[in-house]
Chain A
Amino acid sequence: MKDSTIYQRPESLQDVPTHYCPGCGHGTAHRLIAEVIDELGIRERTVGIAPVGCAVLAYDYFNFDVTEAAHGRPPAVATGMKRVRPELIIFTYQGDGDLAAIGIAETIHAANRGEKITVIFVNNGIYGMTGGQMAPTTLIDQKTATSPLGRSFQNEGPPLKVCEMLAPLDGTAYIARGALNKPANILKAREYIKQAFLNQIEGRRFSLVELLSACPTYWHLTPGDSMKKITEEVIPNFPLGVIKDER
Chain B
Amino acid sequence: MLFRSNNSILWLLKFRISKFNILKTEATTEPILICGNEAIGEAAIQAGCLAYFGYPITPQNELTAYMAARMPEEGRVFIQSESELAAINMVFGASALGVRAMTSSSSPGISLKQEGISYLAGCELPAVIVNISRGGPGLGNIGPAQSDYFQATRGGGHGDYRTPVLAGASVQELADVTFLAFDLADRYRTPVLILGDGILGQMMEPVKFIHPEPVDLEPKDWILGGAKGRPPRVVKSLFLGTGALDAHNRKLQERYRIIREKEVRCEAYMTDDAELIMVAYGITARLCREVVRNLRRDGHKVGLFRPITLWPFPSLKIAELCRTAKRFLSVEMSYGQMVDDVRLAVNGKLPVEFFGNGGGEILTVGEIEEYTRELISS
Contact = CB atoms under 8 A, between A and B. Distances in A.
Nearest to A14: B232
A67 B224 contact: yes
Interface residues of A, number: 35
B94 interface: yes
A65 B238 contact: no
A62 B232 contact: yes
Query: For chain A, what secondary structure do more than half of its interface residues adopt (helix, strand, loop), or is it mixed?
Result: helix
B116 A73 contact: yes
A42 to B, nearest CB: 9
Nearest to B91: A80
Contacts of A79: 79, 86, 90, 93
B225 A76 contact: no
Given A80-B51, A105-B83, A56 B97 contact: no
A45 interface: yes
Contacts of A76: 81, 85-87, 89-90, 92-93
The 7 closest A-B pairs by CB, nearest first: A80-B93, A76-B89, A80-B90, A44-B228, A77-B93, A109-B82, A45-B226
Interface string B222-253: 00111111001111111000000000000000
A59 interface: yes
A221 interface: no
Contacts of A80: 51, 53, 89-97, 101
B44 to A, nearest CB: 15
A120 to B, nearest CB: 17
A73 B53 CA distance: 14
Nearest to A86: B77
A66 B232 contact: yes
A84 B236 contact: no
21 contacts: A43-B227, A45-B228, A65-B227, A65-B232, A66-B224, A66-B235, A67-B123, A68-B123, A69-B89, A69-B92, A76-B92, A77-B92, A79-B86, A80-B94, A80-B101, A81-B224, A83-B90, A84-B50, A84-B97, A85-B97, A109-B81
A121 interface: no
Contact of B82 (A63, A65, A105): A105
A190 B217 CA distance: 44
Nearest to A102: B85
Interface in A9-45: 43-45
A83 B228 CA distance: 20
B119 interface: yes
A59 B93 contact: no
B150 to A, nearest CB: 23
